[in-house]
Structure 1
Amino acid sequence: MRSVVDRSAEAPAIWSRNFRYYFTARSAGLLGDAMLPVAVSAGLIGAGHGLGTVGFALAFLMGPFAGLVLFGGVLADRFTARRMMIGADLANLTTRILLAVLFFRGIDQLWQLYALLAVAGTAAAMFQPGAASTVPLVARDVQGANGVLRTAEAFTGLLGPALAGLLVGSAATGWVMLIAAVTFGISAACLLALRLGTVPAPPPGDSLWRNLVVGWHEFRARSWLWGVIVIWLFFTVLSWGPQMPIAAGLIVPEYGPTVYGLLNCAFGAGTVLGGLLAIRYKPERPLAAGAVAMLVFPLYPIGIVAGWPVWLLAAAQLVVGVGLTFWGVMWATNVQTQVPGEVLNRIHAYEVAGSVCMFPIGSALAGPAVEAFGATRVLQVGIVVSFLVVAALLLTRPIRTLHRVPDRP
């Protein structure tokens, strides 16, 4: 056993001392993460580099995350999630300082930028598995805590890019990196202040590969878990992933970037409302309720295809944000409460690798698909796939009938 929760029965269901520190850590880290893509993209373009360079830079950021997140789960189970997250935050702090120096000085050799972004992507892969597994350790009301965290994620997802764009336009990209470094310093300090109890460790002497295999067996043993991942894979590759670049390609030329930004803000507002809804509403069968909420997802692409006015598209985005976030909280809470703590980091890593990492593939396929079939047809396919995904979730018995785990007393 290793020291990783003060599970005092008198602690608040959500806003315990530990959760306040964890909430601050996640909010700060998410803000720093949200600033990076915009800052790098704007900084490179402002320095005279082309879109190809921007694409390579973002690939060096995302590639290590997709390739190493499974090992991040193994290491988090072996060394504790808290230690891995603190180490990742310190690595992110260091890379942001070095990126600031690089942008202040001027990028003479792109390999230096690519190397630092690869380190940042690796740090994200080491951090992410523990981010989910820590929630049950710091809050008795796991679903409510996830709702609060999703609300914070929505706010930082809106604030981070806006702040980065403002600073790049009025000052310099280097200042964005320095501010991001501060956010990761705050995150590391708050994680260090957590007072956690004990979680079981993997058997001593097991190799990393053995731990990875055990995680895979635990993943396969839960049909509701891998069932959702398989269904979600089709959703991200065929519907959600292509939708974002196609929507931008259709809306920006017709209405301008300001309208497109407002539509994204409407989605962000919806995610906030979805998080608040998830704090209050606790269905007995969470995945079934979340699947029903996903019925609203096709509203936005339907509106684009049908030529809805901007105000109606914004309303659709608001509702879609509510539905997606509610599903996300239901899903995260079930994973965190149904899976044993000793393998939770590895299970979450498999979840991320099988769902979130498929999103860039769907986005990358959007361009060739539009050239071959047209934007409208690709969106129509995505609409049909969205409804089929909901049907598959509700028709799969282990998913539909899974009951929620009661909050800890």
Structure 2
Amino acid sequence: MSTTTEPNTAPKPPPSRNILLDSGFLRLWGGSTASATATWALPFLLGLAVLQNTLTPTEVGLLLATRTTGFLVAVPVGGLLTDRYAARRVILLSGTLAAAATPVLAWGMGHSLMLAAGAAALVGIGQGTTRPAYQALTAEVVDPDRLQQANAARTFSVRVTTFVAPAGTALLATTLGLRTLLLLTAALWLVSALCPPSGTHRGHDEEAETPGLLSGFVAGLREARRHSWFPAGLVALSTVITFGYSATNIVLPLISRDRYGSEFVLAGALTAYTAGALLGAVLIGRWRPRSPGWTALVALGCYGIAPLTLLLPVPPYVVFAGYVVAGVGIELFNVPWFTATQREVDPRLLGRVSSLDFLVSYGLAPLGLALIGPAVEAFGPGWVLGACSLLCFTVPTLLTLVPGTRHFAHPRR
């Protein structure tokens, strides 16, 4: 047995050992799933508040806007704090903050809209600081040989939540009430804060010890640029989110109403997308492609099939099949992408690089939604769907030419 030790990792278990039998990962997985469930639940519960006349659409828009603002502001801060201190500590503080703010949000919904908006911003801050911390903690808790399996298990749990939770939540709302359900999300944030294990010591980055947030984040930018595949993958992901994802979100309800005459296609397409993502998570948890980066980028480009099915006058089952393929492709990209980032990036800078990933991808989504709507009104849905589909197909494919993208690693000479 080799006596070589690996820096910043615990003794390495046998590679064949199932990640779901690892108690440390199960604690991480439980906290991560609780965080993702609470994050998903808030906008859904606020939507139910509109249906029950507890809030107006304008008030819900304000609460979601303040939450999103808090999230986007907190993501880079969370990445810096994760690198400066410890990912476990950041998760504890951020989960506790979101848990404490949620009851204030529930009370403010019927008493003070501004108080509720402030609480929503704090919940968003808790969410934003948690994201890069969980990415970094996964790399600390899980050995490199099982990172892909661990990331697949994490994303699978998120997809299961979004697949089965809407009906269950709507049913519970009829008996428990919205404010009680919001308090249950506070309990989920406490699970996220307390459940994960401590990670290994990753050392400290000297630049992270400087007082300036900007200088610390710039160090993360330099690290991201050092890996040629990372900016390429980020451009591909941003293109698909900004154009493909935004276009389908806006046009799908219109197509479902005008072409098919009901909401059936809307509900069926969203369900098919989630089912495809579940299938993709299961597949990539077991599959090790020879060229993981190229496979991930081509799979990401397959999202272009979704707007293409909306463009063409096809039967509903073709639309559903296109959304299944899009869901599979998203997970075939996400899991290798997260795994490569955790494996290749300097551990002292992983929090900031992960925060850059979330900041760009989530930050551009509202921009895409703002652009696609006027474009549909100006040029019609057909032209917009065609252009967005073409971008989804071509941009990720062209980026496979960037050195290092074949394996999402430094190119070998």
TM-score scaled by length of structure 2: 0.89
Superposition pairs of residues 29-178 of structure 1, within 5 angstroms: 29-47=35-53, 49-103=55-109, 107-140=110-143, 141-178=146-183
Greater relative CO, 1 or 2 (CA 8 Å, sep 6+): 1
Match of 1:356 in 2: 362
Rounded Cα–Cα distance in structure 2 between residues aligned with 1:258 and 1:97: 36
> Identity of aligned pairs, percent?
23
262-271 vs 207-216, which moves further: 207-216
Rounded Cα–Cα distance in structure 2 between residues aligned with 1:206 and 1:168: 48
Match of 1:7 in 2: 11
Q: Is the 8 A contact 2:228 2:410 kept in 1?
A: no
The residue type equivalent to 1:287 in the other structure is G
Rounded Cα–Cα distance in structure 2 between residues aligned with 1:244 and 1:176: 27
The residue type equivalent to 2:236 in the other structure is I
The size of the alignment, in residue pairs, is 397
Q: Is the 8 A contact 1:43 1:168 kept in 2?
A: no
Match of 2:5 in 1: none
Unaligned runs of 5+ in 1: none
CA deviation after TM superposition for structure 1 residue 119, in Å: 0.5
Superposition pairs of residues 303-322 of structure 1, within 5 angstroms: 303-322=309-328
Unaligned runs of 5+ in 2: 1-7
Rounded Cα–Cα distance in structure 1 between residues aligned with 2:212 and 2:19: 34
**Residues 1:365 and 1:52: Cα distance change in structure 2 (over 3 Å):** farther
1:202 aligns with 2:208: no
Rounded Cα–Cα distance in structure 2 between residues aligned with 1:160 and 1:315: 23
Match of 1:301 in 2: 307
Pick one of 170, 182, 190 that aligns with 1:185. 190
Q: Is the 8 A contact 2:294 2:405 kept in 1?
A: yes
1:230 aligns with 2:235: yes
1:384 aligns with 2:406: no
RMSD: 2.2
Q: Deviations over 1:198-252 (max 9, x none)?
A: 1112227422333222112112222211122233333322222222122123214
CA deviation after TM superposition for structure 1 residue 70, in Å: 1.0
The residue type equivalent to 1:97 in the other structure is P
TM-score scaled by length of structure 1: 0.90
Q: Is the 8 A contact 1:92 1:181 kept in 2?
A: yes
**Residues 1:278 and 1:319: Cα distance change in structure 2 (over 3 Å):** same
Pick one of 11, 30, 36 that aligns with 1:24. 30
Match of 2:288 in 1: 282
The residue type equivalent to 1:85 in the other structure is I
1:217 aligns with 2:216: no
CA deviation after TM superposition for structure 1 residue 43, in Å: 1.0
**Residues 1:297 and 1:218: Cα distance change in structure 2 (over 3 Å):** same
Rounded Cα–Cα distance in structure 1 between residues aligned with 2:35 and 2:74: 19
155-164 vs 17-26, which moves further: 155-164
CA deviation after TM superposition for structure 1 residue 396, in Å: 2.0
The residue type equivalent to 1:375 in the other structure is P
CA deviation after TM superposition for structure 1 residue 356, in Å: 2.5
SS in 1 for 2:404: helix
280-289 vs 113-122, which moves further: 280-289
SS in 1 for 2:272: helix
CA deviation after TM superposition for structure 1 residue 256, in Å: 3.0
**Residues 1:296 and 1:228: Cα distance change in structure 2 (over 3 Å):** closer
**Residues 1:402 and 1:47: Cα distance change in structure 2 (over 3 Å):** closer
CA deviation after TM superposition for structure 1 residue 59, in Å: 0.9
The residue type equivalent to 2:360 in the other structure is G
